[in-house]
Amino acid sequence: MTHFEFDKGDLDLLREALARMEQGFRDLPAVPRPAGRSYDEAALRDVLLEVATRMQDNYPYFHPNYAGQMLKPPHPIARLAYSLAMYINPNNHALDGSRASSPMEKEAVAEIARMFGWQVHLGHLTGGGTMANLEALWIAGQLRPGDTVLASDQAHYTHSRISGVLKIPFESVTSDRYARMDLQALEDRLKRGGVGCVVATLGTTAVGAVDPLPEILKLRERYGFRLHADCAYGGYYTLASNLDAPARAAFDALGAVDSIVIDPHKHGLQPYGCGCVLFRDPAVGKFYRHDSPYTYFTSSELHLGEISLECSRAGASAVALWATQRLLPLVRGGEFAGMLESCRRQALELYGRLAADTQYVTAFPPELDILVWAVRGPDLARASAAAKREFEEAAARGVHLALAELPARFFYSKSETLGRDATVMCLRSVLMKGNQPGPA
């Protein structure tokens, strides 16, 4: 076997695309350069090579042997399109600063909305899932001032923290043994009243559990709350053909929620700095209204800065996302959907191997592509210590997993004897590099 190499062939393509982009500015007068280059080439080289050396100090997120956290590099088309756009560095705040890239953002976001079945929507890209969820909860708080936000105890911690920032009351609802929101606990809380918004997570960050959306929608008919779906991690799985029935039913019901968050920088093959928030009712745009003396709105068309809490935003993110969706459209049965399907197949295959191995205790089968398993031990403390040892031993062999402390009830059927709050340290693997072989 030969050693690892990054793919460098596409740098020629970047040069060709840069020359094409240059053609569009051919009529500009030449800019006289200060003798030679505008920078000291030798100094530039020194610093860049120093950066390359510093960057050697990373776990190999791009390699099949890295099967730990949610990390992988963007698709080459995203990397190239982003690099190309950076020569111009558009700002997708106002159309004046992003004549090409704002329309590309609108097109790319509309395609994501259509993936969820929305022909009409209001939405935009954000710096990530946190900002996207903040906007969704902010709108929920505007519409139902003073009312409580509910999310499951397996929801991302950002919801309770954002609620704190927005000064919206927040409560968590317990999860069941499959790490999904417990419907009885949810209804018990709804009966007490004062709930303005329920957050359903489709693909929890820890284990990839999918909350039972069809049943939550039925409760909405009775109790009338706003429903936000946090699909930051799992959203693209709506395209996959190999989900189990409960997850399939949840994704099929997504069109009925009020707002959706999805992170193109997680499963959408994008560089970091790319989240997305979508609202079903475009009328919520009225809450974003501002009156800035700094923004030059020379066009009467929608400026994305009018419907976004963040002001300056990377046009390059939109360009990268647009290019990726152009190459890999968000359709069922397509190449992109196939990549998600193979992520899930790998997770199921690893689950089968671990379930058959008496050293380990598996939780439930993975609903998406995140797998968690405990190491068998006489008690929770020793099982946790054994998981940490295995984590370190795997790392020493060059295989990178993750650790997670999770409720013991996910793993042990007799968990009543352990108490509801008992936890166990377990191993966790996010198998999100679908087109690659699994870890060695």
Ligand X SMILES: *Cc1c(COP(=O)(O)O)cnc(C)c1O
Give me the residues that bind ligand X (CB under 6 A), please.
128-130, 133, 156, 158, 201, 205, 230, 232-233, 263, 275
For ligand X, give the closer residue by CB, 97 or 273.
273
Burial of 257 (0-12, 13-18, 19+ CB in 10 A): buried
Query: Smallest gap, in angstroms, from Cβ of residue 263 to ligand X?
Result: 5
For ligand X, give the closer residue by CB, 84 or 179.
179
For ligand X, give the closer residue by CB, 212 or 275.
275
For ligand X, give the closer residue by CB, 95 or 314.
314
For ligand X, give the closer residue by CB, 129 or 434.
129
For ligand X, give the closer residue by CB, 275 or 439.
275
Query: Smallest gap, in angstroms, from Cβ of residue 6 to ligand X?
Result: 25
For ligand X, give the closer residue by CB, 231 or 399.
231
Query: Smallest gap, in angstroms, from Cβ of residue 228 to ligand X?
Result: 11
Q: Which residue is nearest to ligand X (CB)?
A: 129
For ligand X, give the closer residue by CB, 205 or 324.
205
Query: Smallest gap, in angstroms, from Cβ of residue 131 to ligand X?
Result: 7
CB 352 within 8 A of CB 340: no
Query: Smallest gap, in angstroms, from Cβ of residue 417 to ligand X?
Result: 31
User: What is the distance of C-alpha 56 from the center of its chain?
Assistant: 26
Query: Smallest gap, in angstroms, from Cβ of residue 277 to ligand X?
Result: 11
Q: Letter for the amino acid at 381? A: A
Query: Smallest gap, in angstroms, from Cβ of residue 69 to ligand X?
Result: 10
Query: Smallest gap, in angstroms, from Cβ of residue 39 to ligand X?
Result: 34
